[in-house]
Amino acid sequence: MKIAVRYYTKTGNTKRLAEAVAAAVGAQALPIGCPVDEPADILFLGNSYYAFTIDPEVRKFIASLDKSKVGRIVNFGSAAMLNSTYKKVKAEAAKVGIPVDAREFHCKGEFKGIHKGKPDETDLAAVAAFAKSFLD
């Protein structure tokens, strides 16, 4: 199974999660500025809410994906205030014909002192276990 990991972050929280995912599945965590050039059965996509929606860069990245190279997207991320970006990511992925797995990982992230220290080691272990579950 071929796996790619991409992430978008402004605070570093999602990057930390992406690195844990990548280590768990034997891939490299790369920012969304790096295209998915090689075929991937699974694309783990890390992102968060910014101003109550996904960042325009995440939308642009998803729009750039080639459905012949990406089997499915697995959404993960963190946020201080809002929860999952799943519905937003799924809507964007539908526009390019790429399915989004129903399973996702989300945890609290630190922002301006809210949820200090999050994601923490427990969150990083949990996202790694989540990612490994796709290898079974």
Cα end-to-end span (Å), the chain: 10
Q: What is the pLDDT of residues 81-132, one digit of tens each?
A: 667 888 999 999 999 999 999 999 998 766 666 667 677 899 999 999 999 9
Q: Partners of 46 in the beta sheet?
A: 7, 76
% the chain with pLDDT above 70: 89
What pLDDT sits at residue 110? 65
Q: What is the pLDDT of residues 48-76, one digit of tens each?
A: 866 667 889 999 999 999 999 999 999 99
Query: Topology of domain 3-132, per CATH?
Result: Rossmann fold (3.40.50)
Domain boundaries, the chain: 3-132
Type of residue numbered 126 = A
- How does DSSP assign 68-136, residue by residue? TTEEEEEEEEEESS----HHHHHHHHHHTT--B-S--EEEE--BTTBTTT-S-HHHHHHHHHHHHTTT-
Query: How far is C-alpha 132 from the chain's CA centre?
Result: 14
Type of residue numbered 22 = A
Strands 53-54 and 49-50: antiparallel
